[in-house]
A and B are shown apart, each in its own frame.
Chain A
């Protein structure tokens, strides 16, 4: 799946390899866009999604850290992901680099 390659292939610590330079450029570009999109989120949504999806904490941990109920954590994460999805449409829409159109 193309979107997975975009997200996983580029990283600060990857050793130089037989990777296509164009792929690498696309990867860092995508990462930069993701970070920009994150910065555009409202802080409460950003905190929730960063802790959960990027830091890999559990609902319970996020709830404790932010001192909000778990239900609120879930809804914030979902709202954040939806907002990011809108902003990152060109990277996440199934058309990009996919089978066709």
Chain B
């Protein structure tokens, strides 16, 4: 039995993904190979460390607060400042600007027109999606923000992902780490339209350069009966250059009140 081959299978062994025969073969090797059995012990300990991270209670509050702000049609800068406080670093400023821009775009769409986008307002037949949807509803209700979310606002979920993953990449390493993680990842929704999460830099750049595709995506993913309400808004937003304005404003450390206020 080749040592390297067994080393490759340790991950699967740990998860019980191997067939009985393979598993027994790995066990035999482990019995006589100190390096492999030590590697397995370390992997186990690593997983135990990961699973022992604190239960993410702070992120629930963070989530509620951000949802509340989306509902209220605000940009998220004060919240972000309080939580992450890393203004001044260029990378963070860019992420913040893009995140807020996304939120403001959504605020404009959601709040300005008083509508919510949704791929469907019906309960999802998919249990995973249903669970996550109901999670969002619960949080939104708990914050006292809204009874209006019929299941979830697809636009808000999209914006949250863009924004929070943006925050995540610029997060300070220690204190905010667990908050940011859980907040970012707790928001994933299996039924939501695709967001290019792994091309974040590209996404930020595109969003800041030109909000139209983003708005277009919002429009495409909206429930059919609501599309006609969104088109004028998309045009309006794009014409006003709201996103670029907000990004620039944030770069100069001023809150994006003008944009949301003008939509009232």
Contact = CB atoms under 8 A, between A and B. Distances in A.
A36 B17 contact: no
Nearest to A34: B49
Contact of A82 (B15, B43, B177, B200): B43
B46 A88 contact: yes
Given A82-B43, A91-B45, A34 B174 contact: no
A64 B53 contact: no
Given A32-B174, A35-B177, A36-B177, A51 B42 contact: no
B52 interface: yes
A92 interface: yes
A7 B49 contact: yes
B55 A88 contact: no
Interface residues of B, number: 39
A78 to B, nearest CB: 3
A26 interface: no
B50 A65 contact: no
B43 A85 contact: yes
A24 interface: no
Contacts of B169: 43
Label chain A's interface by main secondary structure.
helix
Given A92-B42, A93-B42, A12 B58 contact: yes
B216 interface: no
A51 B128 CA distance: 14
A19 interface: no
A93 B38 CA distance: 8
Given A36-B174, A36-B177, A53 B12 contact: no
Interface stretch (B78-86, B180-188, B224-232): B180-188
Interface in B36-89: 38-39, 41-43, 45-55, 57-58
Given A6-B49, A34-B49, 14 more contacts: A3-B49, A10-B54, A13-B54, A13-B55, A31-B52, A39-B177, A43-B200, A49-B50, A51-B185, A64-B190, A66-B197, A67-B194, A91-B45, A92-B45
Interface of B: 11-12, 15, 17, 38-39, 41-43, 45-55, 57-58, 128, 169, 171, 173-174, 177-178, 181-182, 185-186, 188, 190, 194, 197-198, 200
Interface of A: 1, 3-4, 6-8, 10-13, 30-32, 34-36, 38-39, 43-44, 47, 49-51, 53-56, 61, 64-67, 74, 77-78, 81-82, 84-85, 88-89, 91-94
Closest 4 CB pairs of A and B: A7-B52, A78-B11, A92-B45, A35-B177
